[in-house]
Amino acid sequence: MKGTEKRTLKEWIIRSVILIIGLIIAHFGVTLFLLSDLGSDPFNVLVQGITRKLNDSTGFSFLTHGRVHMSVCILIMLILLITDRSYVKIGTIICMFCGGPIIDFFTLLLGHTASHFTSIPSRVVMVAAGCIILAYGMTIVIKSDAGTGPNDLVAVVISDKLNKKFSITRLIADAVFTLAGFLMGGTVGIGTAIAVILVGPVAGLFLPVNGKMVDHIIDRSA
């Protein structure tokens, strides 16, 4: 993989396009997950818990889920800028600001259709499909090497620094997010458990596959 300092503008553009495609795929999976209404994904359990804790402690409700989500992502990014800024790239900014609108678009597009899936088994299938699609898209974002979302960087950085498998560190990070969020009042459901179990291991399977795909695209465009 080329060092970022040697990349041309053309390569940065191609990698950014690959990242955006992966981001769209990943957030399509997130949308399926949320529309199943079986619990939040681990990071959003944490965000939900922080939001409720802060609003309860202040007696106000001016802190929305979206504002806290953005604040937590900014905090993670600031920590990385201080400890190892090499992980913060243009794609990190793209992920931070584009994720919400993409989810809103797919929710508007699929919301009515998803409302017909009312049985628990069909919603569990929706969650599982969403988790697999999320893992696939997330690994495209990671392997684009144009940057990745602050929340996903937590597991990536730990994996790199400790030289451990990404699937294991993702599993642990998701479990910590879920536990911390739950203790602060976040909602945990069967969908959360499925996400914790599926996303990390499935992402571990997709990482080498999508790494080869991205390298092939970059080599052909050189």
Total domains present in the chain:
1
What is residue 19's predicted lDDT score, i.e. its pLDDT?
Answer: 96
pLDDT at 134 over 60: yes
Q: Is residue 192 one of the residues assigned to a domain?
A: yes
- Cβ count within 10 A of residue 2: 13
CA–CA distance, 28 with 33 (Å, rounded to integer): 9
Q: pLDDT tens digits for 67-119? A: 788 888 889 989 988 888 888 888 988 988 887 788 878 888 988 887 777 78
Residue 54 maps to a domain: yes
Token pair belonging to 140: 């495209």
Domain for residue 52, yes or no? yes
With 70 as the cut, is the pLDDT of residue 1 above it? no
What is the pLDDT, as a whole number, of residue 221? 86
Whether the per-residue pLDDT at 63 is higher than 80: the answer is no
Tell me whether residue 139 is in a domain. yes
Whether 194 is in a domain gets the answer yes
Cβ neighbours, 10 Å, residue 131: 25
Residue 56 has pLDDT above 90, yes or no: no
Residue 221 lies in a domain: no
Would you state the pLDDT for residue 2? 43
CB 76 within 8 A of CB 153: yes
172-206 residue pLDDT tens: 999 999 999 999 988 888 888 888 888 889 999 99
List the domain range (segments joined by +) for residue 107: 8-216
Determine if residue 119 is left, alpha or beta; phi over 0 gives left, psi from -120 to 50 gives alpha, anything else beta.
beta
pLDDT in tens, 9-48: 899 999 999 999 999 999 899 888 878 888 778 888 898 8
- 77, part of any domain: yes
Res 96: pLDDT:
83
47 lies in a domain?
yes
